[in-house]
Amino acid sequence: MSIVDDARSGSGQASRGLRVEGLEVAYGGVPAVRGIDLEVKAGEAVGLIGPNGAGKSSTLLGIMGAIERSGRVLVDGQDLAGLPPEKVVRRGVALVPEGRHVFAELSVTDNLRLGAVARRDRAGYSEAMEHVVTLFPMLRDFGHRQAGLLSGGQQQQLAIGRALMSDPDILLLDEPSLGLSPTAVDTVFEALDVIRAAGKAVLVVEQRAEFTIAFCDRTFVLHDGEITLSLKPEDAEKVDVLTKAYFG
């Protein structure tokens, strides 16, 4: 059953969840993330918002093992301690990086093929490809096009598609709306809704506070590397809550 079918039936396969305990990240002794605890369950979307330099991207990179970290990152109860990013992907966690970072000189299809390198189930490649192009039909139409020639919104779809090719249970996204038109942002978040409904755990870092709070099941506000506030979707339209979230 595809991601799309899953979402339509509302079944949501039993996926794993992410638990972060006391995550700390520092750059040259300067702390960027100071002991964050959070949990994202299967079929749930959690947002991380906050001003620039709050530690949002560092949190995601710390979870991926791309930068040195301390604290515990648990996937399905198993600690990812000491694992490099490529092994974290094999444990079912995929990151859509800030700025998309598609392989610009390679074709769309090759980008997707690379996403499947870390699949735990190699036999499911064709099925995964079918799921991804069903979710983002543009990727089928432009399969042979160089990824660098796509628009920003199309590249974001490709970056998400590439991440999905590894069949992750947990999808991390770093500012997926960055630099995109409102229509492109809608396309991306509609897809994220489908992915969440399919039972994946989604952790999304964003700058668009109101939008993120409304979309996510829970949203945490990060300030100076610490979670200072937890918000629910109904808080999205409360101006005082948003002001407090950003300005303390």
Partner 1 sequence: MTGQLIQSLVDALSAGATLGLAALSIGLVFGVIRLANFAQAEIITASAYCLIFTWELGWFIAVPLSIIVAVAMSLLMEFAVFSRMRSANPATLLIASFGLSFLLQRVYELMFSNNVRTAPVASGLAQTVEFAGVRIQLLSVATIVIAGLVLLGLHLFLTRTSMGLQLKAAAADFRTARLVGIPAGRVIALSFALSGILAAAVAFVLTVQSGAVGPTFGVQITILALVGAVIGGIDKISGSLAGGFLVGFVTSMLATWLPQEMSNFKDAYVFVLVIGVLLFRPSGLLIKGRGVART
> Counting contacts by CB under 8 A, is residue 114 touching partner 1?
yes
**Per rule CB under 8 A, is residue 56 in the interface with partner 1?**
no
As measured in angstroms, the least distance from the Cβ of 31 to partner 1 is 19
Residues in Cβ contact with 143 at an 8 Å cutoff, skipping those fewer than 6 apart? 107, 108, 109
Nearest alpha-carbon partner for 171 in 64, 68, 80, 49:
64
> Counting contacts by CB under 8 A, is residue 121 touching partner 1?
no
176 near partner 1 (CB under 8 A): no
Contact flag: residue 85 with partner 1 (CB under 8 A): yes
219 forms part of the interface with partner 1 (CB under 8 A): no
What number of chain residues touch partner 1 (CB under 8 A)? 24
Q: Which stretch binds partner 1 (CB under 8 A): 33-41, 70-78, 102-110, 207-215?
A: 102-110
If one asks whether residue 97 binds partner 1 (CB under 8 A), the answer comes out as: yes
- Exposure pattern of 197-235 as b/e (b: 16+ CB <10 Å)? bbbbbbbbbbebbbbbbbbbebbbbbbebbbebebeeeb
What is d(CA 63, CA 84) in angstroms, rounded to the nearest whole number? 10
Under 8 Å between Cβ of 163 and 96: yes
92 contacts partner 1 (rule: CB under 8 A): no
Give the Cα separation of 158 and 7 in Å (integer). Answer: 20
Taking CB under 8 A as the rule, does residue 73 contact partner 1? no
Give me 16's structure tokens: 């794993």
- Contact window for partner 1 (CB under 8 A) among 14-22, 24-32, 92-100, 149-157: 92-100
Kindly state the smallest distance separating residue 142's Cβ from partner 1, in Å: 18
Pairing verdict, β 226-231 and 218-223: antiparallel
Interaction of residue 227 with partner 1, rule CB under 8 A: no
Q: How far is 175 from 209, CA to CA, in rounded Å?
A: 11
How many angstroms separate the most distant Cα atoms in the chain? 51
Q: Is 106 in the site for partner 1 (CB under 8 A)?
A: yes
Contacts (CB under 8 A) with partner 1, residues 150-169: 162-163, 166
Tell me the two tokens of residue 115: 């996403």
Q: Which of 110, 130, 186, 210 binds partner 1 (CB under 8 A)?
A: 110
Write out the residues near partner 1 by the rule CB under 8 A. 64, 66, 84-86, 89-90, 94-95, 97, 101, 103-106, 110, 113-115, 117-118, 162-163, 166
